[in-house]
Amino acid sequence: MQTPRPRLSLAERLYLPQIVDGVAVTTRHFVRNLTLHTLHLFGLARDKRAAVTTQYPEERKVYSEGYRGSHRLTLEPDGAVRCTACFLCATACPAKCIHIEAGEHPDPQIEKYPVRYEIDTLQCIYCGMCVEACPCDAIRMDTYVHPRLWGYRREDFIETKAVLMERSRVLQERGRDALMEDMQRFYAQGGGALPADPQIAPPGDATGA
Ligand code: SF4
Ligand code: SF4
């Protein structure tokens, strides 16, 4: 037996009460925020918070300590990539967005290294399974940087090994704020494909480290 549809009153069918309600809510917030911001200018009512719009990307949001936004490949003390190309992260990844190409390492103590390590951030769901799966602590998401959100081509959203290693180097040498500053500067300059660091991936370097 079908459930009878609820009948709308004439006022509800006109939508006028809802429109009036909506305008009233918007007006109330507008007046409240305008009043509070004006009072704050004169040093009054500072304990009452007014709504604030963050003018991103010029203004920075403060991320929580638990924020995990972007990946990085960790480095050995000599700056080489720690990853041993075991493919566990790529296997664990539910979005199948990690692409690794393994190569023989010139050091006989190390079996393999990633010739290519790429993350397609358009497919990534930022679940952290790759970090959990890694037995070498070679991939982390502790950069406190959000993913890049701009680009004109699909390739602009693919993070290469050089980019992922560069994040670790910047984090170690200049701190987490520097990562965001670099990203904002890059955005202000027009964006495009992320630049690879020639110091990290010099042409002809067998290890890419
Ligand atoms: S965060 Fe999740 S979806 Fe993204 S690369 Fe890691 S495992 Fe894959
Ligand atoms: S990042 Fe870790 S899990 Fe992924 S291939 Fe490298 S060593 Fe293996």
Q: Is 39 in the pocket of ligand 1 (CB under 6 A)?
A: no
Which atom of ligand 2 lies closest to the CA of 88?
Answer: 3
In the predicted model, what is the mean pLDDT of residues 124-151?
92
Cα 204 from Cα 85, distance rounded (Å): 19
Residue 72 has a pLDDT of 96
In the predicted model, what is the mean pLDDT of residues 109-128?
94
- Nearest to 72, CA basis, from 178, 209, 175, 171: 171
pLDDT at residue 106 greater than cutoff 50: yes
Name the average pLDDT for the chain. 85
Q: Is 98 in the pocket of ligand 1 (CB under 6 A)?
A: yes
Q: Which two tokens stand for residue 67?
A: 């924020």
What value, to the nearest 5°, has the Cα angle with vertex 175 and ends 169 and 179?
70
Residue 2 has a pLDDT of 63
Q: Is 50 in the pocket of ligand 1 (CB under 6 A)?
A: no
Residue 209 has a pLDDT of 47
CA of 187 to the centre of ligand 1 (A): 24
Q: Is 129 in the pocket of ligand 1 (CB under 6 A)?
A: yes
Residue 14 has a pLDDT of 84
In the predicted model, what is the mean pLDDT of residues 21-50?
93
Cα 209 from Cα 201, distance rounded (Å): 6
pLDDT at residue 203 greater than cutoff 70: no
pLDDT at residue 54 greater than cutoff 90: no
| Higher per-residue pLDDT: 44 or 11 | 44
pLDDT at residue 208 greater than cutoff 60: no
In the predicted model, what is the mean pLDDT of residues 85-99?
97
Query: Which residues lie with the beta carbon below 6 Å from any ligand 2 atom?
Result: 83-89, 100, 133-134, 136, 138-139
Residue 92 has a pLDDT of 98
Stretch among 26-30, 95-99, 108-112, 130-134 having the lowest mean pLDDT: 108-112
Q: 0.75 cut: is pTM over it?
A: no
Which atom of ligand 1 lies closest to the CA of 128?
Answer: 1
In the predicted model, what is the mean pLDDT of residues 28-43?
94
Do 129 and 162 meet the contact criterion of CB atoms below 8 Å apart? no
Q: Is 95 in the pocket of ligand 1 (CB under 6 A)?
A: yes
Which of the four pLDDT bands, split at 50, 70 and 90, describes residue 191?
low
